[in-house]
């Protein structure tokens, strides 16, 4: 099975009323962990790399690791997605490297930090959508801004001050032609999202419901959606870490979003926590150990357990066989 366009996976998710986790990767072990979970749960999967990941790993390594994942898992539909592209050129380079989906985050200027205006966002996202659709590549846009910084990308703003306007979302989708829309509902990138368990005062799930009523055929995306499990934080701190108390997005709130049109859910921090805790544990319990396989193997397994739990909770488990793979050429013909 070839790498598939994200649009096909999200269309299937909409038809089946489930969500699909989009998991960030930087290296081989993370890709392996995702595929271990996908194979065990028989889930379609979105593997995504940020600009930071592309710089860290190099596109050529990432591309060949993804091709290995396809070769070793021929029955699993896999999307290779660019997370938070900051410019038309960034998205173009990802398409040239074989990504089957790109995100043009025009909510921020090309520095990845300065909040952009609506017209700029529409202009750059429209340009990317036309360029990508000509190649059969799917496009995600973003309207509104998340707080927090991740891989050097994100506005250092009050997340609730830049929530997505549902009426503006209708205009944005109509003018850009995006396949998926990331919405700002008060979440942030990173581990430190909320100082208490979030409720409607800090997590505006009602915005998702309002957008879904206006755009029932547009796939919505939740960014900053790691749940920051306290047991993972406790493992890190037990073995020498110093993480501050924080709360993430409860899984039940994500499930509420899935019931109202959320089809793609970004998860990164939870996987980092699992990996870090497992490595710290080995370093403390076996201080003489220096074989990286002895600590990366449990780290990979710990991440796979988190991914497996999310795939099950989001409802994508068991749906890998629902998708008959579509090539980019076939998808391009559909766009035309």
Total length of the chain: 336
Provide, for the chain, the percentages of residues in helix, strand and coil under a 3-state DSSP scheme, each rounded to the nearest 5: 50, 15, 35
- The Cα–Cα gap between 228 and 244 comes to 11
CB 83 within 8 A of CB 24: yes
Burial class (CB in 10 A: 0-12, 13-18, 19+), 27: middle
Q: Is 322 exposed, middle or buried (0-12, 13-18, 19+ CB in 10 A)?
A: middle
Q: How far is CA 265 from the centre of its chain?
A: 6
Active-site residue, from 58, 59, 75, 83: 83
In Å, what is the CA distance from 182 to each residue of 221, 235, 272, 326?
A: 4, 32, 22, 24
Our answer to whether residue 83 is catalytic in this structure is yes
Q: What is the CA radius of gyration of the chain?
A: 19
Q: How far is CA 24 from CA 102, 135, 147, 265, in A?
A: 13, 23, 18, 11
Q: What CA–CA distance (Å, rounded) separates 169 from 159?
A: 17
**CA within 13 Å, CB half, 41:** 27
Nearest alpha-carbon partner for 224 in 334, 146, 314, 122: 146
The residue with tokens 């998926």 is 180
Token pair listed for 211 = 């957008």
The catalytic residues are 83
């Amino acid at each position: 099975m070839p790498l598939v366009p994200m649009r096909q996976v999200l269309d299937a998710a909409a038809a089946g009323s489930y969500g699909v986790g989009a998991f960030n990767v930087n290296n081989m072990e993370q890709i392996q962990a995702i595929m271990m979970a996908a194979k065990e749960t028989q889930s379609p999967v979105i593997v995504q790399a940020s600009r930071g990941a592309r710089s860290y790993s190099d596109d050529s390594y990432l591309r060949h690791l993804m091709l290995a994942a396809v070769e070793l898992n021929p029955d699993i539909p896999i999307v290779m997605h660019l997370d938070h592209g900051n410019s038309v050129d960034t998205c173009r380079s990802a398409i040239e490297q074989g990504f089957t989906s790109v995100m043009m985050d025009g909510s921020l200027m090309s520095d990845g930090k300065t909040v952009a205006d609506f017209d700029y966002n529409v202009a750059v996202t429209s340009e990317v959508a036309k360029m990508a659709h000509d190649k059969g590549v799917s496009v995600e846009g973003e309207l509104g801004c998340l707080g927090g910084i991740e891989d050097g990308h994100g506005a250092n703003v009050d997340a609730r001050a830049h929530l997505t306007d549902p009426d503006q979302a209708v205009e944005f989708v109509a003018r850009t032609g995006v396949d998926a829309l990331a919405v700002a509902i008060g979440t942030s990138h990173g581990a430190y999202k909320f100082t208490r368990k979030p409720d409607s005062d800090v997590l505006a799930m009602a915005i998702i419901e309002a957008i879904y009523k206006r755009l029932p055929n547009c796939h919505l995306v939740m960014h900053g959606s790691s749940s920051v499990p306290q047991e993972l934080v406790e493992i890190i701190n037990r073995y020498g870490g110093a993480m501050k108390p924080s709360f993430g997005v409860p899984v039940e709130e994500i499930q509420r979003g899935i019931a109202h049109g959320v089809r793609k859910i970004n998860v990164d921090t939870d996987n980092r926590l699992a990996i870090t805790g497992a490595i710290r544990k080995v370093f403390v319990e076996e201080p003489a150990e220096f074989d990286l396989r002895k600590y990366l193997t449990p780290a990979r397994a710990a991440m796979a357990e988190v991914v497996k739990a999310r795939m099950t909770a989001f409802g994508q488990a068991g749906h890998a066989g629902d998708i008959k793979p579509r090539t980019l050429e076939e998808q391009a013909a559909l766009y035309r």
